[in-house]
Amino acid sequence: MARFAAIKSALTGALLAAAITGPAQAQFSGWKERTVPAAAATVHVTELPAQGRETYGLIRQGGPFPYGKDGTVFGNRERQLPIEKRGYYREYTVKTPGSRDRGARRIVCGGPVKAPHACYYTADHYASFRQIVE
């Protein structure tokens, strides 16, 4: 019984230490270093749905875009993307077959409009992002 108590105490201590130090270490990383969560890191452009590849192509050629909101500023209020100044990110609709509205799929690009530094795909209306790689 004493052995079980010792193991339980050691595990509890280790979990408590991890819980305390984990968030503290995250706070000290620079705000510019924030990246997209590792679990959803990247998606190759060829892995995007057909509508996503089409939207990505339109972004790269500068339009024209089918939706009036395409190219508008994305505020990054969810803070899922690296923190940048307002106006850095722009959003574009990825058509969702069967949807009566714009649906939940978007591509968000950061940097110059005609030559973005990075683009991110979300299929769940900004809850998660994957950076598009070529």
Write out the two tokens for 132. Answer: 């598009």
The position carrying tokens 């923190």 is 83
44, 47, 78, 125: the active-site residue: 125
Q: Identify the three-state secondary structure at position 15.
A: helix
Task: Tell me the C-alpha distance between 35 and 50, whole Å.
Answer: 26
Task: Tell me the C-alpha distance between 120 and 134, whole Å.
Answer: 12
Task: Tell me the C-alpha distance between 52 and 5, whole Å.
Answer: 55
Q: Is 125 a catalytic residue?
A: yes
54, 84, 91, 117: the active-site residue: 91
Pairing type for strands 118-122 and 72-73 reads unpaired
Q: Where are the beta strands (DSSP E) in the chain?
A: 42-44, 72-73, 89-93, 106-110, 118-122, 130-133
- Catalytic sites, residue numbers: 91, 125
